[in-house]
Amino acid sequence: MLKRYFIEVEYLGTPFCGFQIQHQSKTVQGELNRALEIRLKEKLETVTSSRTDTGVHARQNFLHFDYSGHLPDSLIYNLNAMLPAEIVVKRIFEVAPNAHCRFDATRRTYRYVVSRKKTAFLHQRSYYYPFQLNPEILQSCAQACIGTKDFTSFSKRQTDVKHFQCTIFESKWVMENDLLIYTVEANRFLRGMVRALVGTMLQSGRGKMDLISFEKILAQKDCTLADFSPPGCGLYLEKVHYPDSLFELK
């Protein structure tokens, strides 16, 4: 009988062409599938909760797969021995047969890390941005995003979604030593949305626009007005949220 399992992973996205499997490209999901198939000696299809872009990192992401055999006790150890150093399997656990790591997720939390000083230790793990910023304007723009709104202006054009409405529960900037960190939690995210929000807010923080201008960009539903330039290296999928009942076997 097939059983469904969730895999919790973390990874640095630097050497990968994104998360999702791509033909002849090195991806996080591709490396995980390869390791699973070698260890379990069976071709498996994994489904992911969040398809992060090239260079984007994750402190927590999930996949699920179905398997009829017995999972060896050493599976996590074996997988981590085979996987690149940038990918770590943290947990594998059985869930209800109808549990779905993507569709059952209720919220996701992302962080974007901006480095205010050049440092070798955060190269490809943050966005070096040395310009003078107004923290009050940044915070005001972040607060303007909270609620249920149409985020068409902050979505890339080539995206397969039925609508652009998202509900943002948390949106804030915090200064931690020389790092400026944006945290955003929502029920769903559009393609390129976090980076576009960050880039446009940073333009506001530099004095190139005010809060009213930022709110107008949000209202106009025109992605040509937003700034999508922040690189993927500063973005982290921090947490995928699920209802507690998901982990109760039926």
Catalytic residues: 53
How many other β-carbons are positioned within 10 Å of the β-carbon of residue 217? 22
Cβ–Cβ < 8 Å for 14, 233: yes
DSSP string covering 200-226, please? HHHHHHTTSS-HHHHHHHHHHT-GGGS
SS3 for 23?
coil
> Are the C-beta atoms of 17 and 75 separated by less than 8 Å?
no
- Neighbour tally for 163: CB within 10 Å: 9
Yes or no: say if 65 and 45 are a contact pair by the CB < 8 Å rule: yes
Three-class secondary structure of residue 30 per DSSP: helix
At which residue do the structure tokens 């480095």 appear? 115
Nearest to 157 by CA among 111, 213, 56, 225: 225
Q: Side chain identity at 118, as an amino acid letter?
A: K
Q: Which residues contact 177 (CB under 8 A, 6 or more apart)?
A: none
By three-state DSSP, how is residue 129 classified?
coil
